[in-house]
Amino acid sequence: MTALERKKGKDLRGQQVFLRPEESSALTRRQSTTLSDQLQDALLRLAAVVDAGSLRVALRDSVRELLPSTECVCVYMPEGYSRLLSEDPPHELPHEGKIRSVVDQLRRCQCVGLPASELPEKYRICLAAPLPAHRRAVVIPLLNQERDTAIAVLLVGCNPLSDHDELHLNVLEKHASVACSRVQALQTSYQRPPLSPSPIQSHNALLHLQVSDQDYCKLDRNILQLCGELFDLDAASLQLKVINYLQEQTHSQCCCLLLVSEDNHQLFCQVVGDKVLEEEISFPLMFGRFGQVVEKKKSITLQDISAEERRQLSSMLGCEISSMLCVPVASRATGQVVALACAFNKRAGQRHTEADEHAIQHCFCYTSTVLTSTLAFQKEQKLKVECQALLQVAKNLFTHLDDVSVLLQEIIVEARNLSDAEICSVFLLDRVSHELVAKVFDGGVVSDEEKEFRIPADQGIAGHVATTGQTLNIKDAYSHPLFYRGVDDSTGFKTRNILCFPIKDENNEVIGVAELVNKMNGPWFNRFDEDLATAFSIYCGISIAHSLLYKRVHEAQFRSHLANEMMMYHMKVSEEEVTKLLVTGIEPVKEIHPCFAEFTYTPRSLPDDTTPLCILSMFEDMGFINTYKIDMNTLARFCLMVKKGYRDPPYHNWMHAFSVSHFCYLLYKNLGLSNYLEEIEILALFVSCMCHDLDHRGTNNSFQVASQSVLAALYSSEGSVMERHHFAQAIAILNTHGCNIFDKFNRKDYTRMLDLIRDVILATDLAHHLRIFKDLQKMADDGYNRKNRNHRSMLLCLLMTSCDLSDQTKGWKTTRKIAELIYKEFFSQGDLEKAMGNRPSEMMDREKAYIPELQISFMEHIAMPIYKLLSELLPGATELYERVAANREQWTKVSHKFTIRGLPSNNSLDFLDQEYELLQSQGAFGSDDHCLNGCLDDAEGGRGQ
């Protein structure tokens, strides 16, 4: 309080002690004795009061001293223009009713009770009608003599008033009225706040505007009443009250507040006129001239905006705009513009004036702090909700750890919901191929491997984020140099904005990337979305890492189970077996059979127990033992272990693996593979041929998945179930003590060898061959390039498939016998499928399969195209294609004798040989004696199966 104010206060208190002369003489006439001590104490107490709180206490105590029978005193003090409030308990004197009518009469009234509905519960006992005969309710209005209004009201519960009591109350009312006027004068004597709480200087020179005291009093009364109503914790409700006030003060048809986002990049509106919007409207801060208002802190009118901006504003408001006033609202704490107050369409067709601008600025002198505080509180509440949402996200994610595809789908759903994005994509980083892989999209999970979406890990927006590990927020996708709009042009979809963020593991290494497209409830993704994405990515990284770990643990359990199963089924190779195999030394291939290295030779003619030694002979003849310094004991043990690794189904057994390996040897000897492949690739091909069907159970991939076998549980998510198991078994044998034939390799060659074996064995899945057939054909058309690593890889796959189907290149009797073995195995699987309640395919159903037709179809669509392609790449392979074609023709010629479905009752197709021998005797096939050493029956001393 300044010295002037203190002096003014003392002067006002001086008015309290001495009554005017005429009042003193009148009192003397009515009272023959001096004032009682109680009255003097009461008057002195009132004289010392300088604030409203002390005044309430003084009035209450004074009444109790003057009226000893007083039971209760309720004091109402002024608040705003017409409100009278009590603090004990907090409530307002009703604007209508008996009490208000007595107050409006401006004189004291004594009655037998007041309406209970107009009283708080605390005072109903002592004031509510009807009162006992010895009790009264007294209403005492304290008057402002200059304005002839009540400036305070006392409600007193006491005994009926005596003449002495009436006399004391007359004196007390006069002094109490003076005290009330003095307290009001002291409260309004302090310097008023400036018109604007910030350094905003409008272009209308608002600070030089002359405002009368009467206008100030009216504005002050209105704004104080408004401030008393701003108790809402909801920012929209608070804005609604402020906007209604602005509409009333500026006489505008509609007002709104455009709030400035914290990052100063956009404006958003939650309330327009008397309507709270269901979804807030937002637009860029640089929308028209509004950005200049924020920057320069100067008001604008309708004449300052363009026709296009006017049209957009009219669309937002839903009506045409005839006049407008936009005033910046600054924070008292920072001086920064936090909102733009806009008034539209002044009534009676008038234009907004400087007085309207003053009224808006005067309003926000008092309400801007409440507004910013409420917005900050609402933001904290929003953060609380988002944190709870993140916790729920964590719960949802960690309940799907058992399936990474389902987990990724859940991540997409949660990310889209949290950020309100139109589309979300999640890519996982494949470090082996250095690619970003997406198998899960908004529409669901893609199970087919060929429909995976792969992009290089260093290209495009996702590649940039994967490489840098930094979040990328793109507000305009088409203007960004990393965005490729070809997809949008082809699909008609429009990408407006993108938020792309990395997903990292516990070592802070990028394991994936998430990409959000098109913010739905805003012009682009804001800083809040970035912070939310960062927090969300932590949960994603943890959940993905744990899901992959969970998967590895389960795979380890399955592998352990399979290893135990394999160990129970097979027997280890003893040292005696190794010694016995090597005791005679490696036999030259010419001594095995003169035609051993010719395509016409059928390896199935060899006895089963001689095949391991033949494998050693082929290793020696191809030069692998010397070139790669392979230990003989290790090689012998490896060959025996591989042989024992095969079960004994009719077709996919060790003899099949031996025949396939022999055909690889024939390709090496007759087609000069060294001119097309590297030596390490040829060795990988030969070893893959030996191991490509290890532990085959006589059933295919579809059966494994349908029967939900252990193999399916382990490999079905990757595809090629059996082929992956064959490779895993090959690795298990190599890891067995004394069986690693590659132990002399350096680390680089060893890793490459295992990768080659994996790729070659996986290529035995005919589904894989069909996927790459077009690429193989293109390679043949363009010309093979040995220096092209991709060409060599595709040629390896083609050679492996050729070896796997090599029985079709042998003589008719071998081909016929192989068909018999294959369909025995197929029909066995079909019987199992029927037992499971499933319907087998035609080729697996012994009751439906027509073997000649199936064989002809297989040769025409699978075998012949393979060897045709091989002959185009390796001209020496032409005779192989011709033999397959001849066998296909023979199936056509003998098909008329095949009048049954499935196999004959004796499971033999020997009856077909009679037709073949008759045709051969007639010279239909020429001399073929050298190729009749086909599959021998058991009676002839060969294994045959």
- Whether 896 is catalytic: no
Bridge partners of 78? 84
Q: By C-alpha distance, which of 942, 938, 931 is closest to 606?
A: 942
Of 2 and 862, the structure prediction assigns the larger pLDDT to 862
Asked whether the predicted pLDDT for residue 474 surpasses 50, the reply is yes
What confidence score (pLDDT) does residue 515 get?
A: 87
Length of the chain: 945
- Residue 903 pLDDT grade (very low, low, confident, very high; cuts 50, 70, 90): low
Of 565 and 379, the structure prediction assigns the larger pLDDT to 379
Asked whether the predicted pLDDT for residue 906 surpasses 70, the reply is no
Give residue for tokens 């914290």: 262
What tokens were used for 337?
């513009």
What tokens were used for 326?
């936009």
Of 78 and 754, the structure prediction assigns the larger pLDDT to 754
State pLDDT tens for residues 408-445: 777 777 777 777 888 888 888 888 888 888 876 654 44
Mean pLDDT lowest for which of 12-16, 105-109, 630-634? 12-16
Q: What is the mean pLDDT of residues 128-156?
A: 88
Q: Bin 923: left if φ > 0, else alpha if -120 < ψ < 50, else beta.
A: left
pTM: 0.48
Asked whether the predicted pLDDT for residue 891 surpasses 60, the reply is yes
Q: By C-alpha distance, which of 913, 699, 942, 894 is closest to 817?
A: 913
Asked whether the predicted pLDDT for residue 101 surpasses 70, the reply is yes
Q: Is residue 151 helix, strand or coil?
A: strand
Q: What is the mean pLDDT of residues 568-594?
A: 85
Q: Apex CA 847: angle with CA 843 and CA 898, to 5°?
A: 80
Q: By C-alpha distance, which of 138, 177, 144, 146 is closest to 43?
A: 177
What tokens were used for 755?
């990768």
C-alpha–C-alpha distance, residues 544 and 550, integer Å:
10
At 164, phi and psi to the nearest 5? -65, -40
What confidence score (pLDDT) does residue 14 get?
A: 37
For 213, counting Cβ atoms within 10 Å of its Cβ (0-12 exposed, 13-18 middle, 19+ buried), the class is exposed
**Highest-confidence range of 119-133, 355-369, 524-538, by mean pLDDT?**
119-133
C-alpha–C-alpha distance, residues 865 and 181, integer Å:
111
**Highest-confidence range of 8-12, 32-36, 358-362, by mean pLDDT?**
358-362
Mean pLDDT of the residues in the chain: 81
For 488, counting Cβ atoms within 10 Å of its Cβ (0-12 exposed, 13-18 middle, 19+ buried), the class is middle
DSSP 520-545: SSSSS--HHHHHHHHHHHHHHHHHHH
What confidence score (pLDDT) does residue 921 get?
A: 56
C-alpha–C-alpha distance, residues 371 and 329, integer Å:
10
State pLDDT tens for residues 628-660: 999 999 999 999 999 999 999 999 999 999 999
Catalytic residue among 168, 352, 358, 652: 652
Q: Bin 97: left if φ > 0, else alpha if -120 < ψ < 50, else beta.
A: left
- Residue 264 pLDDT grade (very low, low, confident, very high; cuts 50, 70, 90): low
Q: What is the mean pLDDT of residues 97-112?
A: 90
State pLDDT tens for residues 532-548: 788 778 777 777 777 77
C-alpha–C-alpha distance, residues 692 and 696, integer Å:
9
C-alpha–C-alpha distance, residues 330 and 339, integer Å:
7
What tokens were used for 23?
């009042």
What confidence score (pLDDT) does residue 263 get?
A: 66
DSSP state of 128: B
What confidence score (pLDDT) does residue 400 get?
A: 64
**Highest-confidence range of 21-25, 76-80, 608-612, 899-903, by mean pLDDT?**
608-612
Q: By C-alpha distance, which of 306, 379, 301, 307 is closest to 338?
A: 379
Q: What is the mean pLDDT of residues 47-76?
A: 88
Half-sphere exposure of 595 (CA within 13 A, CB side): 14
Other CB atoms closer than 10 Å to residue 308's CB: what's the count? 9
Q: By C-alpha distance, which of 915, 696, 934, 686 is closest to 819?
A: 934
Q: What is the mean pLDDT of residues 933-939?
A: 39
b/e map 276-306, b = 16+ CB within 10 Å: eeeeeebbebebbbbeebbeebbbbbbebbe
Asked whether the predicted pLDDT for residue 923 surpasses 90, the reply is no
Asked whether the predicted pLDDT for residue 178 surpasses 50, the reply is yes
C-alpha–C-alpha distance, residues 351 and 334, integer Å:
32
- Residue 273 pLDDT grade (very low, low, confident, very high; cuts 50, 70, 90): confident
Mean pLDDT lowest for which of 39-53, 278-292, 642-656? 278-292
C-alpha–C-alpha distance, residues 824 and 835, integer Å:
17
What confidence score (pLDDT) does residue 225 get?
A: 77
Give the neighbor-by-neighbor strand order of the sheet with 510-519.
Answer: 453-456, 435-438, 421-430, 510-519, 498-504, 472-474
Q: What is the mean pLDDT of residues 516-531?
A: 82
What confidence score (pLDDT) does residue 633 get?
A: 95
What confidence score (pLDDT) does residue 868 get?
A: 96
State pLDDT tens for residues 680-732: 999 999 999 999 999 999 999 899 988 888 888 888 878 889 999 999 999 98
- Residue 896 pLDDT grade (very low, low, confident, very high; cuts 50, 70, 90): confident
C-alpha–C-alpha distance, residues 12 and 47, integer Å:
9
DSSP state of 859: I
Bridge partners of 500? 472, 515
What confidence score (pLDDT) does residue 431 get?
A: 83
Of 191 and 585, the structure prediction assigns the larger pLDDT to 585
DSSP state of 302: G
State pLDDT tens for residues 147-163: 678 889 999 999 999 98
Half-sphere exposure of 190 (CA within 13 A, CB side): 8
Asked whether the predicted pLDDT for residue 205 surpasses 90, the reply is no
Of 914 and 269, the structure prediction assigns the larger pLDDT to 269
Half-sphere exposure of 311 (CA within 13 A, CB side): 3
